[in-house]
A and B are shown apart, each in its own frame.
Chain A
Amino acid sequence: MSTSDHNVVLHVADVHMRFGGLHALADVDLEIEEGKTHAIIGPNGAGKSTLLNVCVGRLTPTSGAVIFDGQIITGMKPHEINQAGVARVFQTPEIFPELSVLENVMAPAFAKRDGAFKLNFLHNLGKEAEIREEAAHFIEDVGMTAQIDAHSGALSRGDKRRLELAMCLIQHPRLLLLDEPTAGMSRHDTNTTIELLKKIKERGMTKVIIEHDMHVVFSLADKISVLAQGRIIAEGTPDEVRNDPRVQEAYLGGATE
């Protein structure tokens, strides 16, 4: 705990990210407080996904640092960042399509229990009753008990997303990053997902959401940061952001699709 304010779970400190001539992130400074749902919004190409990729170790920033829980995580490998307590839901659901729903949720539980690598090839998966039960519990949590033995590649997009969420939740992450959790979903699926995320929020899990859908943002976020052309142009509570003229110009008024 080197940060002065111990309520800050994730601190993105003066991050710059350049791709050749493109300045994708410029001097981004962001603090995510414990237990809060922090939404990052902005028009297409504003650098939202880049920011998330910097946080999970997919990209290493040109300069600046990402500090998670008092520890600098820039330059760490994705699995190390996950082991430190950061889980991520991707824009297109990343699951194990060849495995069953149960196996999909069991795998992350093993990562949590056994660490990044364990050569346990003489153990019997059938004897792991504890992990099996825990996985079943989290599958129930996202309302997929009926599909527990289903082949996950055949699920609908909404179900894949819920499955991916269960895979993240079973790890009890300190920080959950969600990249457009409702992208490409029907209105019904979107609403189910919002309900689910509200339920998680009540448990006090810290979340960062990147989202296009303002309905989702305003129903979930405690705090919103607005990103435009790689810079944070506004930050505040949903009401403050809604009424900010700069935001209306850059995003809500100007660039809505």
Chain B
Amino acid sequence: MFALPKKQLIIFVIFALVVLTMPLWMSPLGAAYPGLLQKFAIYGLLALGFNILFGLTGYLSFGHAAFLGVGSYTAVWSFKLLTMDAVPAIILAAILSGLFALLIGYVSLRRSGIYFSILTLAFAQMSYNLAYSVLTPITNGETSLQLSLQDPRIIDLTFMERGQGLPTVSLLGIDMSGYSGFYFCAVVLIMGFFIAQKITISPFGLMLKGIKSNQNRMKYTGFNTRPYMLSAFVISGIYAGIAGGLLAVTDPLAGAERMQWTASGEVVLMTVLGGAGTLFGPIMGAWIVKYFENIFSAFNDTVLHNIFAFVPEGFREWVVSCAGLFVGEGWHLTLGLVFVIVVVFLPGGLMEGYRRIVSKFGAGKPNQPNSSAPDSPAPVKQPAE
């Protein structure tokens, strides 16, 4: 049940190594600080889960941020009411976001295509507005849900005295900030990757691909497609909920903006950028987006002056002001351009680029499972009898 075929096992081991050694290989890129590494792991998990729905079944949810938000709120409430330990928070986040996904999915999956996307978007915006205003007692609205000195924390406080100042999130006594927080998120991401791999190579995964390929045929083949879709939706929602929970673990704070439609759109962007339908693509997409968001946005004119120090004086000013458009506040512009270039030239995302390189250099046999080959029409002959 928990075994992988050899080829998948190799991929899994390589992936685990890549993630766990991130602090090493990210440091030349200037991204090896815990806060960003945690985001890499968390948003990687979010995109990975999103891909189980979008990549395998082709159903584009535009409301995944809602589950992220539910996960965060649940985790913070778990810190406030029960314990500062990370594990119960994550488990509760998974359960609640799963139930929430079941509800939203049950209604949204009555429609397909653009209508499904609009329904999920509507539900997510509804959740956002509820969290922002109506549900203030639960979400603390605008000010975000935070820990306070008066929190009951029933489990913690039965075993120890209330300490001075705000407590921190921990895992069996290990503080969850900094690198330990990253490693916790990384382990969850690796576990998520394993399950995603299992799904991809299971009969269930084949059925999801069948639904993406030809839902009509699935029905006339005897499959009840609705529960398949709903399962994929809930699994994907649970991934998002866990990601939301991890956000709260690394920083015990939950705000409504986490549920806004821009956050939902970001996941779509990550998945498409990296390559929908592939295992590693969406994670890579998430890393790239978060890298741009945190590194490019931090560049200012002084940094640019240092980079372009080799350019002759006078001309340098011009170069810096041009480049300045693409960094700092303008990092969205760079990301947008990268996205446009990828979508136009590599419709299968960056993973398609990788596949093309591999097949070009003959390292493997060329296979493009995502590109639908043109229908070669057989000569049409009308019977003359």
* Total count of chain A residues near the partner, CB < 8 A: 58
In the assembled complex, the Cα of A85 lies from the Cα of B206 at a distance in Å of 22
CB distance from A110 to the nearest CB of B (A): 5
Would A120 and B228 count as touching, CB distance under 8 A? Answer: no
Q: Let me know if B220 and A94 touch, CB within 8 A.
A: yes
Is B110's CB within 8 Å of the partner chain A?
no
Please tell me if the beta carbons of A151 and B223 are within 8 angstroms of each other in the complex: no
**Knowing A112-B222, A154-B376 touch, does A107 contact B204 (C-beta < 8 A)?**
no
Contact partners of B201 in chain A: CB under 8 A: 124-126
- Using a CB-CB cutoff of 8 Å, which residues 219-235 of chain B contact chain A? 219-225, 227-228, 231, 235
Q: A117-B223, A124-B5, A214-B383 are in contact. Are A96 and B209 (CB under 8 A)?
A: yes
A121 part of interface (Cβ distance < 8 Å): yes
| Docked pose: A213 CA to B5 CA in angstroms | 49
Counting CB contacts under 8 A, is A116 at the interface?
yes
Contacts of A77 in B (CB 8 A): 219, 224
Which of A10-18, A97-105, A197-205 lines the interface with chain B? A97-105
Least distance between A73 CB and chain B CB atoms (Å):
13
Residues on B with beta carbons closer than 8 Å to the beta carbon of A216? 383
Which of under 10, 10 to 19, 20 to 34, or 35 or more describes the interface residues of B? 35 or more
- Complex contact A98–B372 (CB within 8 A): yes
CA of A128 to CA of B202, assembled, Å: 10
- How far, in angstroms, from A97 to B210 measured CA to CA in the complex? 9
**Which residue from B5, B205, B224, B370 sits with its C-beta under 8 Å from A121?**
B205
Q: Is A54 an interface residue (CB 8 A)?
A: no
Q: Which residues of A contact B378 (CB under 8 A)?
A: 156-158, 184-186, 189
A88 and B220 contact, Cβ closer than 8 Å, known pairs A121-B198, A125-B201: yes
Interface contact B220-A97, CB-CB below 8 Å: no
Chain A CB within 8 A of B314 CB? no
The answer to whether A122 and B373 have CB atoms under 8 Å apart is: no
Task: State whether B199 touches A154 (Cβ < 8 A).
Answer: no
Mark contacts of A208-227 with chain B using CB atoms, 8 A cut-off: 1 yes-contact digit, 0 otherwise: 00001111100000000000
A171 / chain B contacts, CB cutoff of 8 Å: 221-222
Of B5, B209, B213, B220, the most chain A CB neighbours within 10 A belong to B220
B206 and A153: CB pair below 8 A?
Answer: no
- Indicate whether A82 sits within 8 Å of B213 (C-beta atoms), given known contacts A118-B203, A212-B383: no
Q: Does B216 contact A (CB under 8 A)?
A: yes
Nearest CB of chain A from residue B39's CB, rounded to whole Å: 28
Docked-complex contact A125 and B203, CB < 8 angstroms: yes
In the assembled complex, the CB of B194 is this many whole angstroms from the nearest CB of chain A, namely: 10
- Specify which chain A residues have a CB less than 8 angstroms from the CB of B320 in the assembled complex: none
Q: Given contacts A151-B369, A215-B385, is CB(A128)–CB(B203) below 8 Å?
A: yes
Are the CB atoms of A107 and B373 closer together than 8 Å?
no
A59 contacts chain B at the CB level, 8 A cutoff:
no
Q: How far is the CA of A47 from the CA of B2 in the complex (A)?
A: 53
Quote the shortest CB–CB distance from B178 to chain A (angstroms): 34
Whether A257 lies near B370 (C-beta < 8 A) is: no
Whether the Cβ atoms of B372 and A153 lie closer than 8 Å is yes
For the complex, is A108 an interface residue (Cβ under 8 Å from B)? yes
Residue A106 lies at the interface, judged by CB distance under 8 Å to chain B: yes
How far, in Å, is B298 (CB) from chain A's closest CB? 41
- CB <8 Å contact, B369 and A98: yes
Cβ–Cβ contact A110 & B206, under 8 A = yes
One digit per residue, 1 when the CB lies within 8 angstroms of any chain A CB and 0 when it does not, for chain B 355-379 equals 0000000000001011011111111
Q: Is the CB of B222 within 8 A of A153?
A: no
Decide: B373 and A151 in contact? CB cutoff 8 A: yes
Flag if A119 contacts B204 (CB, 8 Å).
yes
Tell me whether A123 and B217 are in contact in the complex, defined as CB-CB below 8 angstroms, given that A83-B222, A98-B369, A214-B383 are known contacts.
Answer: no
Choose one: B198, B217, B367; the contact of A96 (CB below 8 Å): B217
CB distance from B30 to the nearest CB of A (A): 39
Q: Kindly supply a per-residue 1/0 record for chain A positions 67-106, scoring 1 wherever the CB is within 8 Å of any chain B CB and 0 otherwise.
A: 0000000000111001100011010001111110001001
Sample 18 A-B pairs with CB under 8 A, ordered by A number. A94-B216, A94-B217, A96-B214, A98-B213, A99-B209, A99-B210, A103-B206, A108-B221, A121-B205, A121-B235, A122-B198, A123-B204, A124-B3, A124-B4, A154-B376, A156-B378, A215-B383, A216-B383
Please give the residue numbers on chain A whose beta carbons come within 8 Å of chain B beta carbons, in ascending order. 56, 77-79, 82-83, 87-88, 90, 94-99, 103, 106-108, 110-112, 114-126, 128, 151, 153-158, 167, 171, 184-187, 189-190, 212-216, 256-257
Top-8 shortest CB links A-B: A82-B222, A154-B373, A111-B222, A116-B224, A96-B213, A121-B204, A157-B378, A213-B383
